[in-house]
Amino acid sequence: MTAPQIASPPTAPAEDDVRPSTVLSRLGALSTLWIFLVLVALVIAFLFLLAVVWWGIPEVRESAHYESRTESLAFPMWPFLATLLAGFAFMAVTMFFQIYRGVQQLRGRSVLEEPPEADAASH
């Protein structure tokens, strides 16, 4: 590799690039097991995030009600806690879409695939 190749990412996929879908199709039943195990992990993580959001809502309410503040700078805690809670909620939404995509992949359907760029071949 030359220095310009390392410094800038390629704009079009090289001919020797391996797509994950190609690898999974060649693995057969092992790929189905792998997708299933990933789905199990995703569901566990999704349930964990839902639990964090569910039990985090009362914490934000109590923080706002009792006006709890940080010890060092005396900032109110509720904006930080609310932002953290929103972040966990957004991660749960993202996780839901990953689970949906995995279930559809197990069913043999392809969903949420990005179309190839029209000008990628010209670079």
Structure tokens belonging to residue 55 = 């039990």
Question: Number of structural domains, the chain?
Answer: 1
Q: Please check whether residue 9 lies inside any domain of the structure.
A: no
Binning pLDDT at 50, 70 and 90, where does residue 99 land?
Answer: very high
Domain-embedded: residue 20: no
- Give pLDDT, residue 58: 96
Question: Could you tell me the two tokens for 91?
Answer: 């991660």
Which pLDDT belongs to residue 105? 85
Please tell me the total number of residues recorded for the chain in this structure.
123
Kindly compute the dihedral angle of the four CA atoms of residues 97, 98, 101, 102, in this order, to the nearest 10 degrees: -140
Question: Which pLDDT does position 70 carry in this prediction?
Answer: 86
Q: Is residue 79 part of a domain?
A: yes
pLDDT at 78 over 70: yes
27-66 pLDDT, tens digit each: 677 878 888 999 999 999 999 999 999 999 999 999 999 9
Say if 11 falls within a structural domain: no
90 found inside a domain: yes
In this predicted structure, the answer to whether residue 23 has a pLDDT above a threshold of 70 is no
Q: Is residue 63 part of a domain?
A: yes
- 13 occurs within a structural domain: no
Structural domain boundaries, residue 101: 38-109
Query: Does residue 72 surpass a pLDDT of 90?
Result: no
Angle, CA 24 vertex, CA 22 and CA 30 arms, to 5°: 155
Q: Which residues of 45-59 are buried (b: 16+ CB within 10 A; e: fewer)?
A: ebeebeebbeebeeb
Three-state SS for 89-115 is: HHHHHHHHHHHHHHHHHHCCCCCCCCC
